Amino acid sequence: MSIRFRELPKVSLHCHLTGSVLPETVAALARKHGVPMPGGRTAQDLYDIDSHVDLDEFLRVYDMVGQVVRDADDFRRIAYESLTELGSKHGVLYREIFVSPPAHPGAGYRVLLDGVRAGMREAEQDTGIGSRIIVAINREDTPAAAVELVRQVIEYRCDEVVGIGLDYAEVHGPPELFHEAYRLAGKAGLNRTAHSESGPTPNIEILLDVLGCTRVDHGYHVVDSPRITDRCRAEGIVFTCTPVSSDIGRYSGSGNGKHEKIAAMVEAGLRVTIDSDDPPMFGTNPTNDFEVLHRTLGYDTDQLLAFTLNAVEGCWLDDSDKSALRARVLPHLAPA
Ligand code: ADE
Ligand code: ZN
């Protein structure tokens, strides 16, 4: 029987708000604010995937898109669209979305957060999708900027914000630089994750030991160290993998669509979850990322649902909300 990929329940732990903006929405917001389209592009060629020769090039497009999202209603709209067009319509039941204040330099933190929270509420009312926020630090900024951002998160504490993350290019911002921001976040009871996409592999232990992370975003190179792999398996560390976006950067494999690293992580018994990272920017969506893994690695419904259940266990909901989420996924499992 063919798998109905779209209908399979999904839990999304690695999706960026700024990376979810639909090209037509970028065009509409540029018009609204009377500014040119980013890079002089059109809605049609804005996310030309072939032009992402590496992560740096992709991140410059990401930054340009950030510039057209400015007021609270813009943030409401893009949060709503991420959670519906790129979420509930693809079977996503719950998303912890990365929100990047530094990518929107014109918007104040409170304006941004209030807009996103309004979009989250509306999406839940209309479709039932639940969501929370992870505030992402830009590792290409200074450690002092990271501390200042965490201070803002703590001063304007909202129930929706469940943790912090660290994104942008790992080569330009090694994780240990951000120890103080992460210490403050931990002290305030915030959960912690960080991107580790290109490595080196010892960065994974820095995430765990210095930053206090319980999740690793991407983390493919973990399998290059049997010792660190054993440790992560023993500690139940959750890896939020993004097959399509990482294939373009050659992180999840050799860029040949084979996703060797993800296959090795699953084989090693690590807690892997699957998501789309920046869906329209990489020409993907949650349904497609599942389908790609089925096509290339032969993963069946049980394995795809195992990714969803790993995400349920690794998410940052409280125990009762987590049980309710689990109860929505379990009926999809084939009877033993
Ligand atoms: N920010 C948005 N997407 C990212 C990615 N794939 N890697 C690092 N930072 C990001
Ligand atoms: Zn990411």
pLDDT digits (tens, 9 = 90+) for 141-160: 999 999 999 999 999 999 99
Residues enclosing ligand 1, CB less than 6 A?
A: 16, 19, 55, 62, 167-168, 195, 197, 245, 277-278
CB-CB contact of 268 with 275 (8 Å): no
Nearest to 118 by CA among 81, 64, 91, 155: 81
pLDDT at residue 38 in the model: 82
Q: Which atom of ligand 1 is nearest to the CA of 19?
A: 2
**pLDDT beyond 80 at 111:** yes
Question: Which amino acid, one-letter code, is at 171?
Answer: V
Give CA angle at 77 (73, 79), nearest 5°. 115
The residue whose CA has the least distance to atom 5 of ligand 1 is 168
Residues 212-249: tens digit of each pLDDT: 999 999 999 999 999 999 999 999 999 999 999 999 87
Average pLDDT over residues 102-126: 96
Token pair, residue 300, equals 């069946």
* Omega within 30 of 0 (cis) for the link into 175: no
Q: Where are the domains of the chain?
A: 5-326
Question: Ligand 1 centre and the CA of 55: distance in Å?
Answer: 8
Place of tokens 């926020």: 133
**pLDDT beyond 80 at 28:** yes
pLDDT at residue 40 in the model: 86
- The ligand whose atoms approach the alpha carbon of 57 most closely is 1
CB-CB contact of 119 with 85 (8 Å): no
Q: Which atom of ligand 1 is nearest to the CA of 245?
A: 6
Confidence class for position 335, pLDDT limits 50, 70, 90: confident
Question: Ligand 1 centre and the CA of 52: distance in Å?
Answer: 12
Out of 17, 18, 56, 58, mutate this one to test ligand 1's pocket (max ligand atoms within 8 Å of CB): namely: 58
Confidence class for position 163, pLDDT limits 50, 70, 90: very high
Q: What is the SS3 assignment for 215-275?
A: EEEECHHHHHCHHHHHHHHHHCCEEEECHHHHHHCCCCCCCCCCCHHHHHHHHCCCEEEEC
- Among 35-39, 97-101, 231-235, the minimum mean pLDDT is found in 35-39
Q: Which atom of ligand 1 is nearest to the CA of 100?
A: 1
pLDDT at residue 126 in the model: 98
More confident residue, 56 or 206: 206
Nearest to 62 by CA among 135, 117, 138: 138
Phi then psi for residue 165, to 5 deg, are: -135, 175
Out of 167, 275, 281, mutate this one to test ligand 1's pocket (max ligand atoms within 8 Å of CB): namely: 167
Give CA angle at 244 (301, 330), nearest 5°. 25
CA atoms within 13 A of residue 332's CA, in its CB half-sphere:
24
Residues 241-295: tens digit of each pLDDT: 999 999 987 788 877 889 999 999 999 999 999 999 999 999 999 999 999 999 9
Out of 16, 52, 97, mutate this one to test ligand 1's pocket (max ligand atoms within 8 Å of CB): namely: 16
Question: Which amino acid, one-letter code, is at 142?
Answer: T
pLDDT at residue 253 in the model: 81
Confidence class for position 57, pLDDT limits 50, 70, 90: confident
pLDDT at residue 49 in the model: 72
Residues in the chain: 336
pLDDT at residue 54 in the model: 78
| H-state helical runs in 90-142 | 109-127
**pLDDT beyond 80 at 336:** no
Average pLDDT over residues 105-132: 97
Question: Ligand 2 centre and the CA of 165: distance in Å?
Answer: 9
pLDDT at residue 258 in the model: 92
Q: Which atom of ligand 1 is nearest to the CA of 16?
A: 2
What is the percent of the chain with per-residue pLDDT over 70, rounded to a whole number? Answer: 99
- Among 5-14, 55-64, 153-162, 169-178, the minimum mean pLDDT is found in 55-64
- CA dist 60 and 211 (Å) reads 27
Fold of 5-326: TIM Barrel (3.20.20)
